[in-house]
Amino acid sequence: MGWGQDGMASLLISHCRLYDAAGVDADGWVLVDGGIISQIGAGGAAPDADRVLDAGGRLLAPGFIDVHIQGAGGADVLDATPAALATIAKTCARCGVTSYLATTVYKPDQDNRHLQVVSECIGRDLGGARLLGTHLEGPFISSQKRGMIQPDCLTAPSPSALDAILNKTGDGLAMMTIAPELPGGLDLASALVDRGVIASLGHTSATYEETLRGFDAGINHVTHLFNAMPSLHHRAPGPLGAIFERPDVTVQVIADGVHLHPSVVRLVFAAVGASRFVTITDGMQALGLPDGHYTYNDILYEARDGAARYKDGTLIGTALGLNRILARLVQFAGCSPATAIRTVTENPAAILGIGERAGSIKVGYDADLVLLEEDLAVHATLVGGRVVYQNNGD
């Protein structure tokens, strides 16, 4: 993928603790060769390498994967430039993220250059996290549950509309959020699955029965659970009732304590289990920046205390980095850091079909890694064995 010459040199990460290892001894080491993990060990004499990164006893975890992020560092996917995607990639790296899906919208009858730019930048060295593909929120979603998504980003499901999108995204479309209750929605879900695209339920007004039909048509993932969908009612369970009882369906959760109350985060974690839970940011361009006013899709919003809202109070995303949201998940759900980390590593890697090379620390896997403090603050982030971010205490 062209991650730079220094990424091809051998690297020894010494004095680390694997995030899921028993005990507290910091005598572990990982050898990286050619951007791939080649050896893992503990104690004794570590092998020689061209470079050594002393972890200083910190936790070493797989790099995080954010499947739902629209912008960061002042940039947005809609900016439609490689520079914007690079800014997002570099800001992601500051938060421990080594791979991301560029999440955005499609505007029918417009040029949608941003989708072409994303496709052209997949696999490029952006100086930070790897760009894996596009996650489209819509345009086949409910107008009643569109949230921050503007009306000009919606259209009815049809083969021709899907073809127009694929002409822009090519093989870069990795995930699409759809509402299965729309006429033609089930056929569209099946068409996406046939193309290897993840069909994700979201921005939907579906009933319980319509949701189940969507799952039977191939939908197996859920976009920001609870948000932009009907609430759970004891006589009309809606999509949530169907989601909770389907063990083959994974769910995205914005576990920041704002999009969902901490008690609901705890409830979801207990109900679906750690293996179905995928922590996301739903990050906006304000992610990684101070509180202030910013613009998304030409509409002003305010980022304050980690939450992004339109002037009317509509919650539209987060400005918190993924590592900070993970720390809140640990607090709210009462789970271990290792368990929380799996929700941004093993789980999304499996969903994206890259679990045989990413999401774990194993020999033969990509050396996409993050060194973490005890509170999950990021000390260093590596992509393909290259340090793309390091906190030097500045």
Active site residues: 282
224 appears as a binding residue in the annotation: yes
Say how many C-beta atoms besides its own lie within 10 A of residue 94's C-beta: 21
Is 261 within any annotated ligand binding site? Answer: no
- Does the annotation flag 203 for ligand binding? yes
At a CB cut-off of 8 Å and minimum separation 6, what does 342 contact?
Answer: 20, 274, 275
Q: Residues marked as binding for Zn(2+)? A: 137, 203, 224
Q: Residues marked as binding? A: 137, 203, 224
